[in-house]
Amino acid sequence: MRLNRYIAACGYCSRREADELIEQGDVTLNGKKAEAGDRVDLKSDTVKIGEKILRRIDRKTVVAYYKPVGVTCTDRDPHAERTLSESFKFPIRLTYAGRLDRDSEGLLLMTNDGDLIDSMMRSSNRHEKEYIVRVTRRMSDADIARLRSGVFLRELEVKTRPCEVQRLGDRTVKIVLTQGLNNQIRRMVKTVNNEVKKLKRVRVLTVSLGSMQPGQIRELRGEELESLYSAAGLHR
């Protein structure tokens, strides 16, 4: 098995993040610095990240977590007031599949399945993520039409994909994205001379936040879990 896939299969991170760890020299294979393209013998090889020995997971776990405002999606950050590792507690190590910025709240999927993380983070897969967004002033029909058709984000030098935008109130809209650019919704709203006051993610693919409250955790099981894997194009 390719090394980056093995790291993902151990639930440590996605394949893309595994490639970055290998490039940074953080991964060893049988005591030697690993290189991109290395392969792992599942019966005899030992893979470490730092001092941690990686082992393939026995059971794939997916958890829905309501991330509160103020929590930064990182394990360690000296500048963060509160990190994800401090606020999210679970008996086994899980990694987020698609982050939320510190000032946003809502549904965060946590898992030890690297293939699921990889599928959900690939922009080309166009997986849906739904948000409820409150802005500082009423959006005009013209503003909503602009957002729906895609706007150019000057800071990122990219035009956003067409998306679903539905008015829910004078200053509240629902936005469904199929891509995950950095601070995408906040940047999009800024292009129509408005500002996000509150942003909550309420759905990722087939999984909805429902009646969960900030800080709550719900492990996905049964049909809900099967539906997620099917939507992600994977089999459990």
Residue type, 226: E
How confident is the model at residue 21, as a pLDDT? 92
The residues assigned a catalytic role are 101
Instruction: Read off the CATH number of the domain in which 67 is found.
Output: 3.30.70.580
Domain boundaries, position 83: 62-122+210-231
Which letter, b or e, does each residue of 102-130 get, where b requires 16 or more Cβ atoms within 10 Å of its Cβ?
bebbbbbbbbbbbbbbbbbbbeeeebebb
Cβ-proximal residues to 133 (8 Å cutoff; 6+ apart), any chain: 172, 173, 174, 175, 185, 189, 196, 198, 199, 200
Query: Could you tell me the pTM of the whole model?
Result: 0.78
In a domain, 236, yes or no: no
pLDDT at residue 23, as a whole number: 93
Specify whether 132 is located in the same domain as 198.
yes
Residue 9: inside a domain: yes
**Pair 112, 178 in one domain:** no
Length of the chain equals: 236
The SS3 assignment for 22 reads: helix
Asked whether residue 171 falls in the same domain as residue 75, the answer is no
Query: Do 38 and 141 sit in the same domain of this protein?
Result: no
**Quick one: pLDDT at residue 14?**
77
Q: Are residues 110 and 169 in the same domain?
A: no
Give the phi and the psi of residue 175 in degrees, each rounded to 5: -125, 130
Is residue 97 domain-shared with residue 147, that is, in the same domain? no
Number of domains in the chain: 3
Q: What is the pLDDT along the chain (236 residues), one digit of tens a residue?
A: 899 988 887 878 878 888 999 999 999 999 999 999 899 988 889 999 988 888 877 678 999 999 999 999 876 666 778 888 888 988 888 888 888 999 999 999 999 888 888 888 888 889 999 999 999 999 999 999 999 999 999 999 999 999 999 999 999 999 999 998 999 999 999 999 999 999 999 999 999 999 999 999 999 999 999 999 999 998 76
